[in-house]
Amino acid sequence: MPQIFHRSTNTIARVSIFGGLFFLAFLVWALYELQASSYNTRAFVARAQPVQFSHKHHAGDDGIDCRYCHTTVETSAFAGIPPVKTCMNCHSQLFADNAYLAIVRDSFKNDKAIHWTRVHDLPDFAYFNHSIHVNKGVGCSTCHGRVDEMPLTWQVASLQMEWCLECHRAPEKYVRPRDQVFNMDWQPPPDQVEQGKKLVEQYRIQSANVITSCSTCHR
Amino acid sequence: MLKIEKSGRQKTEDRRQKRSGDKFPRRRERIWRWLSTFCLLSPAFCLLLSGCRQDMHDQPKYTPFRPSEFFADGRSERPLVDGTVPRRDLRADPARSDGDSSGGRAFQPDETSAAQTDLAKATTLPFPLTKEVLDRGQERFNISCAPCHSRGGDGDGMVAQRGFRHPPSYHIDRLREAPLGHFYDVMTNGFGAMPSYADQVAPRDRWAIAAYIRALQLSRNATLADVPPAERSKLEEKKQ
């Protein structure tokens, strides 16, 4: 019987076995990257909102404190989205006939809710609480980025478990003095880790073992 | 074609069986085929799945502001029924007992402020004044009031500069002479073009802000005699 395959096919067969392995590894890597990419987590994608509300104008240019609108951020799990009454504090006079604000006025007059599009949305099986972070010196901009420069709001973090744990394992890399929590311009000092360690002690931040245990966030 | 393939496979199977003594070549082959299909398809399947939000992500429960189909107005948060009383007995804390934004009061504050039947005329705080109270007042003032009244209380805050009606300066005689309760009352019920801040600022914080406004007013008219002796010498040193 004549030889059907040329000798070189031996090599090809071997290479293709290894090639297959590499291809599989590549596939796994590509999938991992894809699920962590902003395409999947929707980070850096500005969401369309029913009203063109701009943090850049309100918090940035006009210097309104986050807590003027997000009133419960220091005291509860939920940061709070302002009721229309809060908008009308100023917009009863400012831009009072502007078409941009037609929905806001209509909502105020007729007691209808505005349906804001959620930007950050953890799955319901994960528990998050603003008050503990804010009171232990984690600033808004650490997690939300420069909100005061966003014309429409987007998220800057993946909000994946890996991201939470990255900080819970070593909070000293991120904590800042409590009076800087609402300061959007804050930059970590060059000796952040040393400063951070002191703050961790001062604010009695619990050990990494405690805050990385599953039941902290899955309860 | 079919025939050749069949017989070919038969041959290899025979050979395999001989070599390994495998009793179930067909079943084995089926498992392999299944496994390889699984390996190939599972990444594709995962990709598909990752595009969905599963049930545990969006559980059928109410989280803050989640819409409801049950209530006619579509809100899961229900407004309080008129006259609702918080479960904690607030009479023990006169600073909070005036939580009613309409100005009417459900409770009589106890003896500390018994004299202050009309809060708008109150001249003292319903709780002791400490450094913490003033600090809290400063913080809350800068959050809630400074956008219009400016940090110094002159009434030219950013929002006023953008076209909102200019509020009066706190440093005019009428407001310097106004009782402390007047500020509390303005925050609670609003005043002219200024809306009520009762929803945004808790009663205790309203008193703290009132105290801080008083401090702002005093700061513009302080004399050296108002400075505590320990600090006074420092100032005098600077003057020379």
Q: Which two tokens stand for residue B60?
A: 């059928």
The pLDDT of residue B7 is 43
Q: Taking the mean position of all CA atoms in its chain, how far away is CA A55?
A: 16
Note whether A94 contacts B50, CB cutoff 8 Å: no
H or E, element range at B170: none
Residues pairing with B132 in the sheet: none
The pLDDT of residue B86 is 65
Asked if A99 and A52 count as a contact pair (C-beta separation under 8 A), the reply is: no
The pLDDT of residue B6 is 45
Asked if B174 and B93 count as a contact pair (C-beta separation under 8 A), the reply is: no
Residues of A with Cβ-Cβ distance to B162 under 8 angstroms: 62, 94
H or E, element range at A178: none
B64 touches chain A (CB under 8 A): yes
Asked if B113 and B126 count as a contact pair (C-beta separation under 8 A), the reply is: yes
- 3-class DSSP state of A38: helix
A88 touches chain B (CB under 8 A): yes
Q: Is residue B28 part of a domain?
A: no
Q: Which two tokens stand for residue B56?
A: 């545990």
Q: Is residue B177 part of a domain?
A: yes
Task: Report the pLDDT averaged over residues A32-38.
Answer: 81
| A29 pLDDT higher than 60 | yes
Sign of the C-alpha dihedral computed for residues B113, B115, B117 and B122 taken in this order: negative
Please list the rounded mean pLDDT of every run of 10 residues in chain B (240 residues).
44 48 66 69 60 72 88 85 67 47 38 51 82 94 95 92 92 92 90 90 89 92 82 77
Q: What percent of chain A has pLDDT over 70?
A: 100
ipTM of the prediction: 0.83
The pLDDT of residue B25 is 63
Rounding to the nearest 10 degrees, give the CA dihedral for residues B59, B63, B67, B70. Answer: 70
Task: Report the pLDDT averaged over residues A126-138.
Answer: 95
Residue entry with tokens 């078409």: A99
The pLDDT of residue B12 is 46
Contact map slice: B 134-173 vs A, CB within 8 A: 142-144, 147, 158-159, 162-165
A2 touches chain B (CB under 8 A): no
Q: Is residue B71 part of a domain?
A: no
Q: Is residue B55 part of a domain?
A: no
pTM of the predicted protein model = 0.85
Q: Is residue B18 part of a domain?
A: no
| A55 pLDDT higher than 50 | yes
Please tell me the total count of domains within chain B: 1
Could you tell me which of B75, B79, B59 has the C-alpha nearest to residue A115? B75
Facing residue for A78 by CB, picked from B64, B75, B147: B64
Q: Is residue B81 part of a domain?
A: no
Task: Round to whole Å and give the CA distance between B19 and B141.
Answer: 88
Task: Round to whole Å and give the CA distance between A42 and B47.
Answer: 16
Q: What is the CATH number of the domain that holds B191?
A: 1.10.760.10
Asked if B198 and B101 count as a contact pair (C-beta separation under 8 A), the reply is: yes
B195 touches chain A (CB under 8 A): yes
The pLDDT of residue B90 is 55
The pLDDT of residue B122 is 79
State which residue of chain B sits closest to A86, comparing Cα positions: B200
Task: Round to whole Å and give the CA distance between A191 and A202.
Answer: 17
**Model confidence pLDDT, tens digit, residues A168-207:** 999 999 999 999 999 999 999 999 999 999 999 999 999 9
Distance from CA of B96 to the nearest CA of A (A): 17
Facing residue for A65 by CB, picked from B74, B143, B163: B143
Question: pLDDT class for A112, splitting at 50, 70, 90?
Answer: confident
Residues of A with Cβ-Cβ distance to B59 under 8 angstroms: 124-125
The whole-chain average pLDDT of chain A stands at 90
List the domain range (segments joined by +) for residue B165: 94-225
First-residue to last-residue Cα distance in chain B: 113
Q: Is residue B148 part of a domain?
A: yes
Residue entry with tokens 């995962």: B46
Note whether B74 contacts A40, CB cutoff 8 Å: no
The pLDDT of residue B217 is 93
Q: Is residue B187 part of a domain?
A: yes
A27 touches chain B (CB under 8 A): yes
